[in-house]
Amino acid sequence: MSNEEVFIGSIDQGTTSSRFIIYDQFAKSVGSHQVEFTQIYPQAGWVEHDPMEILESVKVCIEKALDKATADGYKNVVKGLKAIGLTNQRETTLVWSKSSGLPLYNAIVWMDARTTSICRKLEKELSGGRTHFVKSCGLPISTYFSALKLLWLLENVQDVKKAVNTGDALFGTIDTWLIWNLTGGCDGGIHVTDVSNASRTMLMNLKTLEWDRSTLETLGISIEILPKIVSNAEIIGNITNKWPLTGIPIAGCLGDQHAAMVGQACRKGEAKSTYGTGAFILLNTGEEVIVSSHGLLSTLAYKLGPDAPTNYALEGSIAIAGAAVQWLRDSLGIIQSAGEIEELANKVENSGGVYFVPAFNGLFAPWWRDDARGVCIGITRFTNKSHIARAVLESMCFQVKDVLDSMHKDAGEKGEVKNEKGEFLLRVDGGATVNNLLMQVQADLLGSPVLRPADIETTALGAAYAAGLAVGVWTLKEIFSGGGKMKEDTIFQPKVDGEQRKKRVESWGKAVSRTFDLADLSL
């Protein structure tokens, strides 16, 4: 590149907030802004977002981040912006009107469990039961995925049914909704999704990277309402004059967990765990689709260009991680802010025999039990709020260990990269990783090192990398070589012995077993 100032913008639309981060050509953040939006809980197990509020939150974030960057001395930030990358919460599903541009119902969030009855019905009717679609899409029938949410909308929302019948309906996950609006909306908005988000709908064939006709026919979903599938790094379209940054190309799009893989520069055999509202562990399996026999999902890792090779991954998805800390804060009032939990949990040396399993809406990988509900066991008169806080933190780490144990079994020795000591290094990112106690507990339970990068916001960085790659700001070699970034990384080494680790894991297993078959408890 020339000596001119070069910047890449990254829209990071998460489960609880939206952010816009501006990076320079050295992948350094020069301006950012974050806005939280409303979480809507119509009834137990249901979670929704207002799509219009999400649009507004993104617009505010862009404007405020530009203001901050300019105020900090980056006067040419708008002129120097070469492209925008987008990353988003996956599986969250909405349908809107092509003619009015308005959503026909709130967005149904990825963790929403209202489709349980639809899942049970399909499992009984289809020859393959719960795994009927695994061969094509790598995913089991679960409330988690977009197709089931779309079926619920088609069956229960009259406006959606009518719009589909009249040809006025558009389906999408949040990436699709944002890009359609950013590129014009009703006035020529581009209706696309990327391969990573499409891989989480249950409707895309993992091998062909196209909508699977057989699946659509089985579920009764019209291909006419589905977006075009594109790669993760290519110019999709330009932002229109209704938005800040008019004329800037959108050139990168990835689901949040896939973006984090790119931001962490995960190559074949390397894994990362992102700790956010949920926790998501992905192991890059290269150009091979590995079908799990231990409760994991086969999914896309990334495809960084239309002609680039497709990297696949094994994924373990955990529904409740940081959300459990939010629950302590918002529902129980045990802490006033999320940052207080580390200090509170550090007041005790251990959880005092208390084990907490946050199966609020069921358990995802590797259990896949939507009949599970949260439990807290081992409580005695000795138990205080510090023990509870520590048990909540430990619950994240136990769940990650469950997933990694399954990954080790599925991938085998040849599927993982290890260091000279024979250790498997877990890369971590996400807001919760600032908690040193959490990271140390994670290393202790894994019995192997945990690496926290200097920049823990790797999701936004991954989207920026994809966009920058598409417009020539970075090369693949620059992104995946890591350069000198590792110097500021922190490595947590395990400090507990194997026997203690084994006992704690066994106790955790007992606690998990207590969560099953609790969905029908009387109110």
Give the domain ranges of the chain.
Answer: 322-361+370-402+498-514
Rounded mean pLDDT, 503-519: 92
Cα–Cα distance measured from residue 21 to residue 14, given in angstroms and rounded to the nearest whole number: 13
Interval 52-95: pLDDT, tens: 999 999 999 999 999 999 988 888 888 889 999 999 999 999 99
CA distance 515 to 427: 29
Q: Where is mean pLDDT largest: 2-16, 26-40, 403-417?
A: 26-40
pTM of the model: 0.86
Cis peptide before 366 (omega within 30 of 0): yes
pLDDT at 38 over 80: yes
Per the listing, tokens 């006992």 go with 503
Render 141-185 in DSSP notation, one character per residue.
S-TTSHHHHHHHHHHH-HHHHHHHHHT-EEEEEHHHHHHHHHTTT
Q: What is the CATH number of domain 322-361+370-402+498-514?
A: 3.30.420.40
Contact 251, 471 (CB under 8 A): yes
Q: Which residue has the higher pLDDT, 404 or 485?
A: 404
Confidence check: pLDDT of 48 > 70: yes
In this prediction, what percent of the chain has a pLDDT beyond 70?
97
Residue 302 backbone phi and psi in degrees, to 5: -170, 160
**Token pair of 218 as six digits:** 């089985």
**What's the pLDDT at 74?**
84
Give residue 486's pLDDT band: very low, low, confident or very high (50, 70, 90). Answer: very low
Q: How confident is the model at residue 482 (pLDDT cuts 50, 70, 90)?
A: low
Per-residue confidence at 240, pLDDT binned at 50, 70, 90? very high
Angle between helices 498-513 and 436-446 (to 10 degrees): 100
Chain segment 431-447, per-residue pLDDT in tens: 889 899 999 999 999 99
Q: How far apart are CA 446 and CA 448, in angstroms?
A: 5
d(CA 197, CA 146): 10
- 97-101, 421-425, 514-518: range with highest mean pLDDT: 97-101
Confidence band for 2, pLDDT divided at 50, 70 and 90: very low
Mean pLDDT for 27-34 is 90
* Angle at alpha carbon of residue 173, lines to 172 and 174, rounded to 5°: 120
pLDDT at 192: 98
29-36 and 17-24 as β-strands: parallel, antiparallel, unpaired? antiparallel
What's the CA angle centered on 274, arms 272 and 280, to 5 degrees?
85
Q: In what order do the strands lie in the sheet with 169-173?
A: 48-49, 107-108, 93-97, 169-173
∠ Cα 46 281 431 (to 5°): 75
